Amino acid sequence: MKTFLFRSMIGIFFGAFIAVLLTNSVVYFGEQDVLDGQLFLKNSLGSIFSGWFFTVSPLYFENTNLRLSQQTALHFITVVVLYFILAFGIGWIPFTWSSFALTLGLFIVVYAIFWTAFYLYFRKQAKKLNAELNGFS
């Protein structure tokens, strides 16, 4: 529970930071003098919620009772469902089949890249630790 709360706070703060960065970028680079308050609030809350579920959902990978394939499937389904509900609800993605298919395809590619990078990193770390343990025995 402590890990869940800590990651929740990190995700919320990270989502809020991203919202502030994006808002400042729109104001600075888009030369917007006035922002729509309702749109700002909706996008900021979406960014905060998105930051939260993207930092909490990797807890599946810490559950040793599940195989890696189960952990990955649960994590993928969780983030896809939550992200698409959020993105369609807020209006980040237009509610059409073509935009859904395009975004889902892009999501899968990005997810596969990140998953592979983390897998290779942790595999390398495990080999390094095993080599150190075998060297000391």
**Structure confidence by residue, pLDDT tens digits, 81-110:** 999 999 999 999 998 999 999 999 999 999
128's tokens = 């390094």
Check residue 51 and give its pLDDT: 94
Q: Please indicate, yes or no, whether the overall pTM of this predicted structure exceeds 0.85.
A: no
Q: What is the mean pLDDT of residues 34-49?
A: 90
Q: Which residue has the tokens 């930092």?
A: 55
Give me the chain's average pLDDT, please.
92
What confidence category does residue 137 fall into, taking pLDDT thresholds of 50, 70 and 90? low
Burial (Cβ within 10 Å: 0-12, 13-18, ≥19) of residue 26: middle
Residue 26's closest CA among 47, 50, 53? 47
Q: What is the mean pLDDT of residues 115-131?
A: 94
